[in-house]
């Protein structure tokens, strides 16, 4: 196979990235509403959805080793096929057990799909230009991913609005169409993603498997030696738990406000699309703010603003106010996330960067699973609004944890070390 030049690699990377995120965006407006429409309680939904986060937590580092050993292409193809199985289960599920299995299968997909496409792009570019500037391609990737997610959510809302079609329910129609796009993504991966000279021997696979415990141990050792990293990982815990309040409970809150799940699903499509655009706007504003007050202060301030906007979503009896607060929440999240990742990357060297980022993701996933269990149970026993306030409080608790990074940043100021990420960076 011919080695791709950087421009060819970037074009294929962006195409595959768009096809990867479009189906995910289509699930955003309906993935919490469909199980409820088919008879699950809120607590059952939380328990079923928690399976995804727990599976990702268990498999994230092992699947990374598999990707390094076997190659990005076979892992991505396998991930896409597994996702198709998960979507088929979601489409047909009519009980708690089947929905839990569907979320678990999607968790396997998420673990396998976490990182190989970006790693392939970096590997391919550096194979021909070792000193190439990767920021432009990766920044464009963030833009494409946001547009694909927003476009998918918008398409899902339109499908819900025109459904049902025949025996296909309105809320199930986006799941069916997402499966079609996932199949296109698998076929495109097989066609576009090439890896010249990649070894796929089982000996390499076994070697990688033996190295996984050492990778985990090394990451924990590095974490134990840094107060700043410890604080940043604890922030991931709070963030993962509290994120459920706006990511998963907003469609339910909208259905509650409108007293109509189908109408809520149709509205949440374009609203979710707009939210991703707001997030992109926040990411663009963050470097500007950080030049005035610093990276850590920007991360903390915008995270606090996000908590306030989550709580604000509980105050409105109509959809308009809820939508405005939801968009503001994503604006704040878009600003805080790249600042948080900038602080994380400052604390690690290239030798440990991937493992620490993976460890951070591993912390976020079980926190989200716990948040799903906790907040859906609060929503069922008290109210959705109460659950969202609890989520807001947890997010706010993360703000003081930025103090170690803030103090280190203040000490480094005379050396001119304080700076934000480049414009267009994506967490």
Q: Is the pLDDT of residue 1 over 60?
A: no
Query: CA angle, 248 as apex, 244 and 254 as ends, to 5°?
Result: 130
pLDDT of 397 reads 94
What pLDDT is attached to residue 138?
Answer: 62
Q: Residue 292: pLDDT above 80?
A: yes
Rounded CA-CA distance 225/208 in Å is 26
The domain defined by 225-427 folds into Growth Hormone; Chain: A; (1.20.1250)
Mean pLDDT of 16-22: 92
- Domain boundaries 1-212, CATH class: mainly alpha
- 376-413 pLDDT, tens per residue? 889 888 899 999 999 999 999 999 999 998 998 888 76
Q: What is the pLDDT of residue 80?
A: 94
Helices (H), 71-129: 72-92, 96-113, 116-128
For the chain, where do the domains classified as CATH 1.20.1250.20 start and end?
Answer: 1-212, 225-427
List, for residues 35-77, the tens digit of each pLDDT value: 988 988 888 888 888 888 788 878 876 776 676 667 778 888 9
pTM summary value: 0.70
The pLDDT tens digits for 342-351 are 787 677 654 4
Backbone φ and ψ for 198, nearest 5 degrees, come out as: -75, 125
Residues β-bridged to residue 165: 168
In this prediction, residue 426 carries a pLDDT of 33
pLDDT digits (tens, 9 = 90+) for 127-167: 777 776 555 666 567 667 777 888 888 888 889 888 788 88
What DSSP element (H or E) covers 318?
A: none
């Amino acid at each position: 196979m011919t080695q791709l030049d950087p421009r060819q690699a970037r074009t294929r990377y962006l195409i595959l990235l768009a096809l990867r995120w479009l189906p995910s965006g289509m699930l955003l407006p309906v993935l919490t509403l469909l199980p409820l429409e088919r008879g699950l309680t809120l607590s059952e939904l939380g328990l079923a959805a928690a399976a995804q986060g727990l599976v990702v937590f268990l498999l994230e580092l092992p699947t990374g080793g598999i990707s390094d050993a076997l190659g990005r292409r076979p892992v991505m193809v396998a991930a896409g096929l597994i996702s198709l199985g998960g979507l088929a289960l979601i489409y047909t599920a009519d009980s708690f057990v089947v929905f839990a299995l569907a979320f678990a299968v999607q968790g396997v997909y998420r673990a396998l799909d976490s990182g190989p496409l970006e790693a392939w792009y970096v590997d391919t570019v550096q194979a021909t230009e070792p000193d190439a500037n990767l920021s432009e391609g990766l920044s464009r990737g963030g833009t494409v991913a946001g547009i694909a997610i927003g476009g998918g959510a918008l398409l899902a809302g339109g499908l819900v609005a025109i459904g049902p079609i025949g025996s296909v329910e309105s809320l199930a129609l986006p799941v069916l169409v997402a499966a079609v796009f996932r199949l296109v993504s698998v076929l495109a991966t097989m066609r576009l993603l090439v890896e010249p000279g990649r070894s796929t021997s089982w000996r390499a696979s076994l070697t990688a498997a033996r190295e996984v415990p050492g990778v985990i141990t090394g990451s924990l050792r590095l974490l134990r030696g840094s107060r700043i990293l410890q604080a940043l990982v604890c922030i991931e815990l709070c963030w993962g738990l509290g994120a459920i309040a706006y990511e998963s409970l907003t469609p339910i809150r909208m259905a509650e406000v409108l007293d109509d799940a189908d109408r809520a699903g149709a509205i949440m499509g374009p609203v979710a699309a707009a939210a991703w655009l707001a997030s992109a706007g926040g990411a663009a504003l963050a470097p500007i703010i950080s030049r005035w007050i610093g990276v850590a202060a920007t991360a903390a301030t915008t995270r606090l603003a996000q908590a306030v906007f989550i709580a604000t979503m509980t105050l409105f009896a109509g959809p308009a106010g809820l939508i405005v607060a939801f968009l503001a929440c994503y604006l704040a999240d878009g600003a805080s996330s790249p600042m948080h990742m900038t602080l994380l990357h400052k604390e690690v060297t290239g030798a440990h960067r991937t493992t620490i980022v993976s460890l951070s993701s591993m912390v976020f996933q079980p926190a989200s699973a716990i948040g799903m269990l906790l907040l859906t149970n609060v929503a069922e026993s008290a109210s959705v609004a109460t659950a969202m306030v609890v989520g807001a409080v947890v997010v706010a608790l993360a703000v003081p944890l930025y103090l170690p990074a803030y103090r280190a940043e203040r000490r480094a100021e005379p050396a001119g070390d304080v700076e934000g990420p480049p414009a267009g960076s994506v967490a």
